[in-house]
Chains A and B, each alone.
Chain A
Amino acid sequence: GQNIDQPTEMTATEGAIVQINCTYQTSGFYGLSWYQQHDGGAPTFLSYNALDGLEETGRFSSFLSRSDSYGYLLLQELQMKDSASYFCAVKGRYSYKLIFGSGTRLLVRP
């Protein structure tokens, strides 16, 4: 089976940097994705890592270590609009299923 762990809640200050960690256990691994969801909204795709290392997309970066079954999402220059829930999601190697973690609720304070 698959198990995904990420913190339930995090709080950070506008302009700061925050790192949301994700660890996973899965039988066969293909890639790790990150999604953002504002209250009442739909999840939106942020990033995808299939290989070890850092992927940068504007203020957001995502990191993967396959050997450690670990990844993180780094948000820089935090803005109030970044207050949302962030989900990591794992795709197994031979699976069509994208399995989501329970999400990290991020609150950005002025």
Chain B
Amino acid sequence: NAGVTQTPKFRVLKTGQSMTLLCAQDMNHEYMYWYRQDPGMGLRLIHYSVGEGTTAKGEVPDGYNVSRLKKQNFLLGLESAAPSQTSVYFCASSLYRTGGYGYTFGSGTRLTVV
């Protein structure tokens, strides 16, 4: 099992450019999440999805959009990148809403906006 796969692993963007981060999971998990992690900080929830075709805002949704057209995929879009969006982005999925069996995280995407 691959678990949760994120692409790309690294990316450098210029301010104002757009990009899409792809997350794919092969565990048939219902719930998927996008987090960002900045130095010295914990993970902050950007957006999440409770099932195919659904999305919802997390703690820091501004400047990001998401889509979940297929159960196994969760896309994170940056329409007009800003230096403040330089971060490491993690996708995660879970079987249960409660998180009781844990979240499975992808290996992350390191994004630099110059």
Contacts and interface: CB of A to CB of B under 8 A. Distances in A.
A54 interface: no
A12 interface: no
B1 interface: no
A50 B100 CA distance: 8
Interface in B45-100: 45, 48, 50, 56, 58-59, 90, 92, 97-100
B107 interface: yes
Contacts of A43: 43, 90, 92, 103, 105
A95 to B, nearest CB: 9
A48 interface: yes
Contact of B31 (A31, A42, A96): A96
A42 B104 CA distance: 9
Q: How large is the interface on B (under 10, 10 to 19, 20 to 34, 35 or more residues)?
A: 20 to 34
Contact of A31 (B41, B99, B108): B99
Interface in A60-110: 87, 89, 91, 96-103
Nearest to A33: B99
Contacts of A4: 42
Contacts of B98: 30-31, 50, 91
A102 B48 contact: no
Give chain A's interface secondary structure class.
Answer: strand
B108 A42 contact: yes
Given A30-B98, A91-B98, A96-B50, A102 B41 contact: yes
A48 B48 contact: no
A99 B52 CA distance: 22
B8 interface: no
B30 to A, nearest CB: 10
5 contacts: A33-B103, A43-B90, A48-B102, A50-B98, A100-B44
Interface of A: 4, 30-31, 33, 35, 41-45, 48, 50, 87, 89, 91, 96-103
Q: Would you list the 8 A-B pairs with minimal beta carbon distance, nearest first?
A: A45-B102, A100-B42, A42-B105, A100-B43, A102-B42, A43-B105, A98-B99, A91-B99
